[in-house]
Amino acid sequence: MNKKERIERLKKEKNAIILAHYYVDADVQEVADYTGDSFYLAKVAKATDAKAIVFAGVEFMGESAKILNPEKHVYMPDLHADCPMAHMATVEEINKMRETYDDLAVVLYINSTAELKTYADVCVTSANAVKIVKNLPQKNIFFIPDRNLGNFVKEQVPEKNVMTNEGHCPRHTIITKEDVIKAKQKYPQARLAVHPECTKDILSEADYIGSTAGIIDYVVGSQEQEFIIGTVDGVFAKIHELAPGKILHTVRENQICPNMKKVTLDKIITVLENENNEIILDHEVMDQALKPLERMLELAK
């Protein structure tokens, strides 16, 4: 029996499903029951009636799944697969802003720890941040921990006073304007599609800005054939599956997320067999963190 067959058998035996983010390797995406962006996967996690979820992604994704569906067992193939940006905001920063502004909404990117979520008014993902911020009753918005997504939202929703902290994704901010110029010179026919975690000077060069699912839809649905992609190259797998003829380039070499790369077929087999690496969260944290996540699901409808 090969690895994929073993995983299929274990999934049935354990009544488990595998959710995979578009950033994990193609072979992992292939064994998943659902692949998607953070928003889609959160919705699937909430709705599933499987007994267990193996989350092929990073820690905040597994935590969100557990919080949204606390009766389920949520397992991480690698407990060290963590998103550094998830830790780039502090309770002190939030408290200070709450003291300064009466009319404030703390808008927390889902790429954040469960503990931070207990202090938020609403969570967002890159797929719904603009829509949600636009519809909040508050004028002042403290958008954390991604200053680039926050600044993108600020531009799209100029009627709000959007403030950010210094958090950012190291994998997207490593892409420079010079990289973009070089890539455009090398592939002059190509359209540029980027994730809003990139810096503003990159976004200003783009033909399309959106979440990983948005980028995939844009490329697959476009009449054009050649694209430069400004996000982790895991998204190539879905595009190749849906539109095999498209020619894809990264902006620069090595556009990977090392934490997403920690997820492998062998580790999935191990957690399915041993039911180890389970996400365990304090009940009070789960209750408090559920509120901003549910508000996101409500406001994004």
Q: Which does 126 bind (CB under 5 to 8 A by kind): ligand SF4, ligand 13P, none?
A: ligand 13P
Contact segment (CB under 6 A) with ligand 13P among 26-34, 67-75, 88-96, 119-127 equals 119-127
- 126 makes contact with ligand 13P (CB under 6 A): yes
Q: Which does 38 bind (CB under 5 to 8 A by kind): ligand SF4, ligand 13P, none?
A: ligand 13P
For the bound state, the minimum distance from the C-beta of residue 99 to ligand 13P, rounded and expressed in Å, comes to: 30
The DSSP 8-state label assigned to residue 262 in this structure reads: G
What is the contact surface with ligand SF4 in residues (CB under 6 A)? 58, 83-85, 111, 169, 171, 197, 232, 257, 259-260
Distance (Å, rounded) from C-alpha 49 to C-alpha 33? 13
Among 35, 38, 69, 164, binds ligand 13P (CB under 6 A): 38
For the bound state, the minimum distance from the C-beta of residue 57 to ligand SF4, rounded and expressed in Å, comes to: 8
For the bound state, the minimum distance from the C-beta of residue 158 to ligand SF4, rounded and expressed in Å, comes to: 25
Q: Which does 259 bind (CB under 5 to 8 A by kind): ligand 13P, ligand SF4, none?
A: ligand SF4
Q: What is the DSSP string of 67-128?
A: HHSTTSEEE-S-TT---GGGGS--HHHHHHHHHH-SSEEEEEESSS-HHHHTT-SEEE-TTT
The alpha-helical segments, DSSP class H, found in 124-198 are 129-135, 147-156, 170-173, 177-186
CB distance 54 to 16 below 8 Å:
yes
- 111 makes contact with ligand 13P (CB under 6 A): yes
- Cβ density class 146-176: b for 16+ within 10 Å, e for less: bbbbbbbbbebbeebebbbbebbbebbbebe
Distance (Å, rounded) from C-alpha 246 to C-alpha 298? 35
For the bound state, the minimum distance from the C-beta of residue 195 to ligand SF4, rounded and expressed in Å, comes to: 8
Q: Which does 84 bind (CB under 5 to 8 A by kind): ligand SF4, ligand 13P, none?
A: ligand SF4
User: Closer CB to ligand 13P, residue 104 or residue 237?
Assistant: 237
Distance (Å, rounded) from C-alpha 76 to C-alpha 143? 28
Percent helix, percent strand, percent coil in the chain, to nearest 5: 45, 15, 35
For the bound state, the minimum distance from the C-beta of residue 211 to ligand 13P, rounded and expressed in Å, comes to: 3
- How many binding residues for ligand 13P (CB under 6 A)? 11
**Amino acid, res. 49:** D
How many of the other CB atoms lie within 10 Å of CB of 30? 14
- 259 makes contact with ligand 13P (CB under 6 A): no
Torsion from C-alpha of 233, 237, 243, 248, nearest 10 degrees: 20
- 212 makes contact with ligand 13P (CB under 6 A): yes
Q: Print the binding letters for residues 174-203 with ligand 13P: x by CB under 6 A, - otherwise.
A: ---------------------x-x------
Applying CB under 6 A, which residues contact ligand 13P?
Answer: 37-38, 111, 125-127, 169, 195, 197, 211-212
